[in-house]
Amino acid sequence: FITSKEQFHAYLRAGGEEEEKEEKELEIQGKLYLAPLTTCGNLPFRRICKRFGADVTCGEMAVCTNLLQGQSSEWALLKRHHTEDIFGVQLEGAFPDTMTRCAELLNRTIDVDFVDINVGCPIDLVYKKGGGCALMTRSNKFEQIVRGMNSVLDVPLTVKIRTGVQEKVNVAHKIIPRIREWGASMVTLHGRSREQRYTRSADWDYIAECARIASPMPLFGNGDILSYEDANRAMQMGVSGIMIARGALIKPWLFTEIKEQRHWDISSRERFDILKDFTNYGLEHWGSDTQGVEKTRKLLLEWLSFLCRYIPVGLLEHLPQKINERPPYYLGRDYLETLMASQNVDDWIKISELLLGPVPPSFTFLPKHKANSYR
């Protein structure tokens, strides 16, 4: 029987009212997070990174409206490999109703540890519709998206942002406390603006300031990490963890280097074996028929456009390699090392032929990330 006002209130809290949702927490303090990477961050690539020590992985950005329309190629982006033990998916969209609907659908249909909103995407196609980075300037819509998605998800909701849209006009520090209030469990900050793209270095002092402001909500820092020294410096900035994008594409063994605090002078043979494993994972994932072989080849070539930027430790004058340094032409210590350092698409195709056989007649390839064909 209810005999007091307190009991009556307790009764209301327990059942009379809608039950409060449990606090959603993401246990990823100090972890190494492989960034969501459109095209390159496919499942076979993520398997490679997991083997080298990536802790957290995320699917490639999926477009909310494509998911709602039932496009199977978009749903394929949400697949998880069983080795991905802390795995999230990333959504892009511009409107609270579609994003919330989509989150509801994902909540019912897929098994993930978190859902991330892409509020960093700089590309025109997304930005002009009000999605990606544009949400940083549409705070009402942004709020409704975070609140809406959070109310329907049983897993934590995270948000990936940039410093702002314009260079020199940082707004992340103003938005972060609000994102926390709206109920997000974590923020990842890429220390560059939309305008800046990849020019100049990520602003880690600003990331540090934002990490302080975000507390007690965890903030992951992202930008320019290519060595364990870079990672150590980043961790000293007071972030909860670090996210790595191009560094993982250029040298997926970076996760091992960070965990073992060393430089790994990896041989060309060992690197070739990584490519062999990727090829096998690709054929397993996309199929070993002609279509699967060519899909695997295309994604291998996309990856090779980053891998060729690795400079072997044994050849460096100054350790460690910096992500924005472009080396002069150099010869490797063996034929394979020289071939892997080539910036020439024809040489990437040659590597793909060593693994997947000859390319079909009149085959051409242009890397998606044009920033990499820096010839």
Ligand X SMILES: Cc1cc2nc3c(=O)[nH]c(=O)nc-3n(C[C@H](O)[C@H](O)[C@H](O)COP(=O)(O)O)c2cc1C
Q: Give catalytic residue positions.
A: 121
Backbone angles phi, psi at 63, to 5 degrees: -85, 120
Exposure string over 154-192, b if 16+ CB within 10 A, otherwise e? ebbbbbbbbbbbeeeebbbbebbeebbebbbbbbbbbbb
Residue (31 or 369) nearer to ligand X, CB: 369
Q: For residue 118, what are the contacts with CB-CB under 8 A and spacing of at least 6?
A: 36, 61, 90, 91, 92, 131, 132, 160
Question: What 3-state class would DSSP assign to 266?
Answer: coil
How is residue 27 written in tokens?
């246990």
Per-residue contact flags (x/-) with ligand X for residues 312 to 351, judged by CB under 6 A: ----------------------------------------
Encoded amino acid at 250, one letter: I
Pick from 26, 28, 32, 37: which binds ligand X (CB under 6 A)?
37
What angle, rounded to 10 degrees, do the helices at 96-109 and 139-152 form? 20
Partners of 158 in beta bridges: 116, 186
Per-residue contact flags (x/-) with ligand X for residues 48 to 77, judged by CB under 6 A: ------------xx----------------
Pick from 44, 88, 156, 247: which binds ligand X (CB under 6 A)?
247
Tokens 């290519």 found at: 226
Taking the complex as a whole, the smallest distance from the CB of residue 60 to ligand X amounts, in Å, to 5
Encoded amino acid at 94, one letter: A
What is the rounded CA–CA span in Å between residue 64 and residue 62? Answer: 6
Residue 120 binds ligand X (CB under 6 A): yes
Pick from 48, 161, 244, 258: which binds ligand X (CB under 6 A)?
244
Pick from 84, 143, 203, 224: which binds ligand X (CB under 6 A)?
224
Residue 157 binds ligand X (CB under 6 A): no
Residue 222 binds ligand X (CB under 6 A): yes
Residue 196 binds ligand X (CB under 6 A): no
What is the rounded CA–CA span in Å between residue 293 and residue 288? Answer: 6
Taking the complex as a whole, the smallest distance from the CB of residue 305 to ligand X amounts, in Å, to 9
Window of 228-236, 244-252, 284-292, 334-342 that interacts with ligand X by CB under 6 A: 244-252
Residue 38 binds ligand X (CB under 6 A): yes
Site for ligand X in 276-295 (CB under 6 A): none
- The footprint of ligand X (CB under 6 A) covers 35-38, 40, 60-61, 90, 118, 120, 160, 190, 222-225, 244-247, 369
